[in-house]
Structure formats: structure tokens, C-alpha cells
Amino acid sequence: MAAGPVLAVGVCEALGWTWVYGIAALVACSSALLCVAMQESRPSKLLSERVELVAQQSGYKHLTTDTEDSLPTLKEFFRKSLWQPIRLCAEPIIVVVSIMAATVVAVVYLFSEVLGEVYITGFGFSERDYSLVFIAIGLGAIFSLLPRFYDVHVAKKRERNNEILEPEDKLFGFYLAAPVLACGLWWFAWTVPPLVNIGSWPSVLALLLIGYGVVEFDSALSGYLTDAYASYAASASAPMSTLRATLSGVFPLFGRKFFVAVGNNYALSILASFATCFCGIAVLFRMYGRRIREKSPFAISNRESALPMRKFT
């Protein structure tokens, strides 16, 4: 997302706008070809293949595994792939996490439309100069590596003390990202035209905070859902992925008109207000997250059901 506008402007100027899609198609085709050479990595599938090989070599045809892969029946498919994600949509944790993560990610897609209004119309940037401000978002995202050191520290500490690594241990990045994102959006809202005219650099620095906040927000909450719902992780992530894709497609459609009608400063302030509300939710998660999770019939609810020392991924 950060490099895309920069590359797109360069390609448009050098080769024409049609090559933006042409190059994207070439990259997609190359990636698809690379996937053909990928080897199977699913443990249950590898075990089944190994058992089948042993059965052939030994002549004992009835050798099977307890985790035998098989095609699901139509009823099982609908239950696991359709009905189960719908049931999980009623989970308070999944509802709140999905709304927050989807809204935050959609802000980046919104910026792909509205930053032109801010920097081209407001600051008088050229198309090339305007595209460069997205680099600040990308640089901010790099800082999301720093909380991983703390995550590793927590994991090692739990291991030394022979303790279980709880899903809430994954939320440290969220506790950081929520206030950082709110501060970044408020900062950005009141360092851009038309109500504020102080040069472009203060607003570019705010994009660093926004870039970090968006990436850390999404990665921390995704990891939390995966650990909290364990064997139901795919179904738990489905509502978040669906809402994220929906909002990411909808926000850019009305974003520019919204910014023109309301004004850059007030429109960004509305986004910052949502981010500020997410700070309050972070506090609630810190205080009551584990208690709410343990009441869920789907989430990991006690130490016996948790895997010992689940590593951070």
C-alpha cells in the first residue's frame, strides 16, 4: 500500500497508465507459477501420505491414522464453512475485534483517495510529490517490529516460570497501537489545510504514527483471535476478513466527497474520534478481556484447554 502509489506514478509517467495493470498482472501470474512448485505442508496430510507409503511397503493395507484427511460431506461443509462463522458473529470479542481491525485497515484504503485532496489541493503538491507521502506510512509500519521483542520476552518469561502463554499476551501491541493511532490521526487532522497552514512536514510525520498504528493494530488483533479461538480460528477470522474487505472497498467510494463536503480537518477529526474510542476498548480488554473470553463456548476458556507455551508467530 505504501509503495504502490509511488510505483504507479512512475509507471504512468514512463509507460502509460495501462502498464500499471499490466505489471500487476505479470506479478500475479509469476506468483501463481511459483505456487505450483510449493510442497504440501499440512501435518495431517503428510502423516497420511507417510502411513500410506508404509502400508504399501509392508503389505498391510488396513494401516490408517486417527487424523485421516477426507472430503467433508455437504452437511459438514455447510456446518463448518458457513454456519459456524455465522454463529461466531454473535461472539462479543469477535464483533468488537472485527469492527476495530476492519475500520483501521480501511483507513489506509481511504487515504489512497483522500490524501490527494490534502496534499495536491491543500499543499499544492504535484502528483509525483504527493505519491511520496505514502512512504511515511510504510516507514511507520516498520516500527511494528519493535513490540515483537517484548512478545519474545514475555514468551521466554512464561517458559521459565512454567506458565501458559495466554491469548491476552498477544494484545500488548494493541495496547500500544490504539493510543499511537489516535494521536497520529489527531496530529494529522490539525496540521493540514484548510484550517491550518504550517507546511507539510508536520503532517508527514503524523503519517509515521498512523502507519505504525494500522499495521500493529491489525497484526495484534489477528494474532489474538487465532490464539483465543484455537481450532475455531479460521471461522473466528472469517467475520473480520469479510468486514475488512467490505469496508476497504466502500471507504474509498465516498471518501473524497466526504472530505470535500466536511473539510479535511473535520473529516480527519471524525476518524480520530473513532480511534480514541478504540483506546477505551483497549482499556476494557486489558481489564476484562480474559474474563469475557472464558465465558465463550468457543474460545479457550481455561489452562487445561490451552496449549502449553504457544509461541508467538
Same domain, 28 and 117: no
* CA–CA–CA angle 114, 120, 122 (5° rounding): 85
Residue 252 CB-half CA count within 13 A: 14
Same domain, 26 and 99: no
Number of domains, the chain: 2
Give the residue-averaged pLDDT of 153-162.
90
Same domain, 155 and 298: yes
Q: Is residue 59 part of a domain?
A: no
Q: Is residue 58 part of a domain?
A: no
Q: Is residue 69 part of a domain?
A: no
Q: Which of 140, 109, 112 is nearest to 245 (CA)?
A: 109
Q: Is residue 93 part of a domain?
A: yes
Same domain, 29 and 170: no
| CA distances (Å), origin 252, targets 5, 156, 246 | 15, 43, 11
Give the residue-averaged pLDDT of 86-108.
93
Structure-model confidence comparison of residues 164 and 184, the more confident one: 184
Same domain, 83 and 2: no
- Which tens digit of pLDDT belongs to each residue from 7-56? 888 899 889 989 999 999 999 999 999 988 888 887 777 888 888 888 88
SS3 label, residue 213? helix
Q: Which of 127, 122, 105 is nearest to 6 (CA)?
A: 127
Q: Is residue 70 part of a domain?
A: no
Same domain, 9 and 113: no
- Which tens digit of pLDDT belongs to each residue from 104-117? 999 999 999 999 99
Residue 184, pLDDT > 50, answer yes
Same domain, 14 and 123: no
pLDDT band for 149, please (50, 70, 90 cuts). Answer: very high
Range of the domain at 22: 1-33
220 close to 170: Cβ distance less than 8 angstroms: yes
Structure-model confidence comparison of residues 84 and 119, the more confident one: 119
Residue 311, pLDDT > 80, answer no
Structure-model confidence comparison of residues 270 and 76, the more confident one: 270
**Which pLDDT score, from 0 to 100, does residue 83 have?**
81
pLDDT band for 304, please (50, 70, 90 cuts). Answer: very low
**Which pLDDT score, from 0 to 100, does residue 306 have?**
44
pLDDT exceeding 70 applies to what percent of the chain? 93
pLDDT band for 248, please (50, 70, 90 cuts). Answer: very high
Same domain, 155 and 282: yes
* CATH number of domain containing 101: 1.20.1250.20
Same domain, 135 and 223: yes
Q: Is residue 132 part of a domain?
A: yes
Same domain, 302 and 175: yes
Q: Is residue 42 part of a domain?
A: no
Q: Is residue 174 part of a domain?
A: yes
Same domain, 4 and 115: no
pLDDT band for 247, please (50, 70, 90 cuts). Answer: very high
Same domain, 27 and 97: no
Torsion angle of the four alpha carbons 228, 231, 237, 238, in this order, in degrees rounded to the nearest 10: -150
